[in-house]
A and B are shown apart, each in its own frame.
Chain A
Amino acid sequence: MPGATVLAAAALTLFTLAAPPFASAQPEAGIPVTDPLVRAKCGTCHAADDRGRIERVSWARATPEGWQAATKRMIVENAVAVTPIEARAIVGYLSAKHGLAPEEARPVMYAAERRVRDESQTLNGAIVAACGKCHQAARALMWRRPAADWTRFVERHATRYRFTPDAKAVAALTEAAPLQTREWNAWSATARPPALAGQWLVTAHIPGRGNFHGDMTVEPASDGDAFVTRTRLRSVDGNTTLDRTGRSVVYGGTAWRGRSSASNAATAAPDDPANDMQEVLLIASDGSKAEGRWFRGQYQELGIDVKMQRAPAGPVLILVDPPSLKAGSNAGRLRVIGHGFATGVTAADLSAGPGVRVRRVVSSTADEIVAEVDVAPDAPPGRRAVAVRSSALENALAIYDRIDDVKVLPDSSLASFGSEGYTRGYQQFEAIGYHRGPDGKRRTADDVELGPVDVTWSMEVFYEVDQTRRDRVGTVSAAGFFTPAAVNPGINSDVWVIATAKHEQGADGRPLVGKGYLVVTVPTYTFDGRVYVRDLDRWIEEGSSPR
C-alpha cells in the first residue's frame, strides 16, 4: 500500500474512532455482518459495533451488480487489498445476506438484464429526473437504504458528479427503497440455499430469430457453490439448434448470475446467438421458475429473453407457436410445445377455445404436437388457453380479425458508429402486431399482442431530402438488424426504422406501418473535461458502467 494511502487510512480510522458511535445516529436496525472476511476487509475503514453491525454496510442492501460496483470502488479508490477470490466471496456474501427479496428485485430486473426501458412512464418522476440524467434510474433502486444513508449517498454522489442534490429525489428514494421492508423481512427469514439441480424446461425468444424451446440440465459444480449448466435450444421451425454450456452462481437463492458458451464456434456476426453470453435471471420465490435475459458482454443490446421452469412429473405445455391465428384462416399449423405428452394424441385431445377446430394431429412426440386447425370467421378475438387433455397453458394463443397496429421494438434506441478503441453499437428491431382489444381503440392498455409480424424493413433519415444517402448512417437487414456505417461521420443522425407489413393493411386501406426512433451517434465525445460513451440507450461517463 502506498504511504499516502496508509496515512489516509490511518487518518480515517482515527477519525472514525473519534466520532460518536455511528449506530446511535441510525433509527433503523442494521443487518449484522457475520462473515469474517467481510468483517475484516470492510472493517478496515467502516467501524463495527458490539452487535456485529458495520458502518454503512449494515444499513444497505443491493443486487449483485450493486455490491460488485461497491466492492470495485473500494478496491480502486480506497485501496482495499483483496484477491479476486476474496472479492467474489465478499460480493457473494453481501448479495445473499444484504440482497433484495424477489418482489423487490423484479421491478428493477430490467437494469440487471441490460434492457432498454422508458422509465418516465413507470417510475417516480423525481427519481427519473435526478438519476435518469446519467444512468437508468433503476440503478439507484437496486439499492435499499434508510433515510439518513440515502441523504448521505446523494450528497456524496452530487459532489462526485457535480450536480445539485434534489430533496424531492432523496425523499422519493427513501420512500421507494427503504432498508426495512415487509418483503425483505419475510424473504430473509426463510431464504435457503437454492436446490436447482435437475432438469429445467426452457423457452427463449431471440428478437429477429423467433421462438426457441428446449431444456437445461443444472448440476452443482465440483468446486464452490456454483452450478454448471448444459442447455439445448431448438427453433420452433426445427431448423436451428443451439447447444450451450455455462456456469452460474445464485445469490440469496434468487439472483442467478452466470456465463455460457456455445459448443460450436460463433461467427463474426455480432448477433450470432452462438456467442458467449452473460446470464441474468430471477428465480421465483418457490424455486419453480426463473425468468431473465442472456446477453452479449460486448454488445449488451443483443440478447435472448429466457424463461425456465422445472420439468414436472406429468405433462405440461410451455409454448404455442405461432402465438396468434387469424379468424377465417383454414388449415393453419399450430405447434404445441411441452413435456411429457402421452402417445397417441388425437384431434379430440387438443382444444384452443371457441371458434377453433382442430382438424387433425399432423405429428406428435413427448415434447411437441403439431396440429392443423381452422379458425371460424366469427371466432371471438382475444387471448385464450390451449389445452392438451387436462393440461392447459393460459393465454397461449390470440385470435384476431385484423392487425390494427405494428409496434417496432425497441421504439426508442441508440446505436453508435465505431472508431479506434470503440466497437460499433448495433440494434436488433422486431415488429410486433397488436389487435385493438375490447375497447376498439389501438394503442390502449387492452390491446392484444399477436407476436412478430412478417414485414419489410427500411430506414428514413430525419431532415434528409435525399434519402439515397442513408447508407452513410447505416443499413437495416431483412431481419431488422441495424448495422451502423463503418465510417464514423462525426455527427449523429435520427432515423426511423420502418416495418411495413407484407400481408396486412391498416383499417383505412393504407400500408400497415410501424416505426422505431433510432439515434445513431458518434462513439464518444468529451464535454467539460469528461469522456462520454454510449451505454445502451444513453450517454454515460466512461468507466462508470455498472459492468
Chain B
Amino acid sequence: MKTIALALMLFLAATTPAAAHHGLAAFDQTSKITLKGTVIDFHFVNPHSVVEFEVKDANGQVQRWQAEMTSPANLKGWTATSLEPGVVVTVTGYRAKGGALFLWVTDLTASNGMKLKGK
C-alpha cells in the first residue's frame, strides 16, 4: 500500500506528460545545502533539466553532483548552451534523502550570468 500511495503521490500531476512528472518527495525539504562547483554538462531536457557539476570536498576530492530543476518550457530564456562546461555555479537546494549526490535546485547563480530562482 505504501508503494501505491507513493506512486499516486508521484502522479499528482495526473494527465500531464513527462513534464512536471514528479514532486519533491525524493528530497529532504527540511533543510537546504549550498554548493559551488564547475559545470561538466547541462541537460536541457524534459521532464527536468539537470546540471552536472564537480565540487571539491573538504579533503580535496572531486565529487560529481547533479542538480535537478524545472522543465525547459519553464526555464524562460534558457537554452541548451546556458551552462557550458567550465562555468562556475553556486547551487542551493534540497538534497536527495538517500544521500546521493543529487539536489533539487532552489537557487542557482552562474559565472556567465545565468540565474534561477526556484522554490
Residues of A within 8 A of B (CB): 118, 120-121, 125, 128, 132-134, 411-414, 441-444, 462-465, 489-492, 494, 508, 510, 513, 515-517, 519, 522, 525, 527-528, 532, 537-541
CB of A147, distance to nearest CB on chain B (Å): 27
Per-position binary interface string of chain B over residues 59-93, scored 1 when its CB falls under 8 Å from any chain A CB and 0 otherwise: 00000001010011100000011000100000000
Q: Is the CB of A519 within 8 A of B15?
A: no
A134-B15, A412-B18, A517-B47 in contact; A464/B7 too (CB < 8 A)? no
Question: Are A120 and B41 in contact (CB-based, < 8 A)?
Answer: no
Q: Are B41 and A513 in contact (CB under 8 A)?
A: yes
- Tell me, rounded to whole Å, the shortest Cβ–Cβ distance linking B19 to chain A: 7
Which residues B35-59 have CB closer than 8 A to chain A? 40-41, 43, 45-48, 50
Nearest opposing residue in chain B for A527, CB measure = B14
Please tell me if B33 contacts chain A, counting CB pairs below 8 Å: no
Asked, given contacts A490-B3, A490-B7, whether A517 binds B99 with beta carbons under 8 Å apart, the answer is no
A465 contacts B7, C-beta separation under 8 Å: no
8 Å CB contacts to A: which residues of B93-108? 96-100, 102
- Give Cα A538 to B80, complex, Å: 23
Sample of 9 A–B contacts (CB below 8 Å): A121-B72, A132-B17, A133-B16, A442-B81, A462-B26, A462-B96, A491-B6, A517-B46, A541-B15
Interface class of chain B by DSSP: loop
Q: Decide if A490 touches B4 in the complex (CB within 8 Å).
A: yes
With A412-B47, A463-B96 as contacts: A491 and B14 at CB distance below 8 Å: no
> Counting CB contacts under 8 A, is B21 at the interface?
yes
Tell me whether A128 and B73 are in contact in the complex, defined as CB-CB below 8 angstroms, given that A414-B18, A517-B43, A537-B18 are known contacts.
yes
Instruction: Place the interface of chain B in its size category.
Output: 35 or more
Interface residues of B (CB under 8 A from A): 3-4, 6-8, 10-12, 14-19, 21-22, 26, 40-41, 43, 45-48, 50, 66, 68, 71-73, 80-81, 85, 96-100, 102
Name which residue of chain B comes closest to A136, CB basis.
B17
Contacts of B85 in A (CB 8 A): 508
**B73 contacts A120, CB within 8 Å?**
yes
A464 touches B3 (CB 8 A): no
Q: Are A519 and B47 in contact (CB under 8 A)?
A: yes
Contact status B16-A539, CB under 8 Å: yes
5 A-B pairs closest in CB distance: A538-B17, A490-B3, A120-B73, A412-B46, A443-B80
A125 to B76 Cα, complex, angstroms = 12
Determine if A491 and B47 form an interchain contact, defined as CB atoms under 8 angstroms apart.
no
Given A120-B73, A463-B102, A522-B7, the answer on whether A532 and B14 have CB atoms closer than 8 Å is yes
Given contacts A120-B19, A120-B71, A539-B16, contact A463 B100 (CB under 8 A): yes
CA distance A133 to B50 in the complex (A): 22
Provide the bound-state CA to CA distance between A121 and B22, in Å.
21
Check if B43 sits within 8 Å of A515, measured CB to CB. yes
Look across to chain A and name the residue whose beta carbon is closest to the beta carbon of B43: A515
Cβ distance B87 to chain A, nearest Cβ, rounded Å: 13
Taking a contact as CB atoms under 8 Å apart, the answer to whether B98 and A465 are in contact is yes
With A527-B8, A527-B11, A527-B14 as contacts: A494 and B45 at CB distance below 8 Å: no
Alpha-carbon gap, A275 to B68, bound state (A): 39
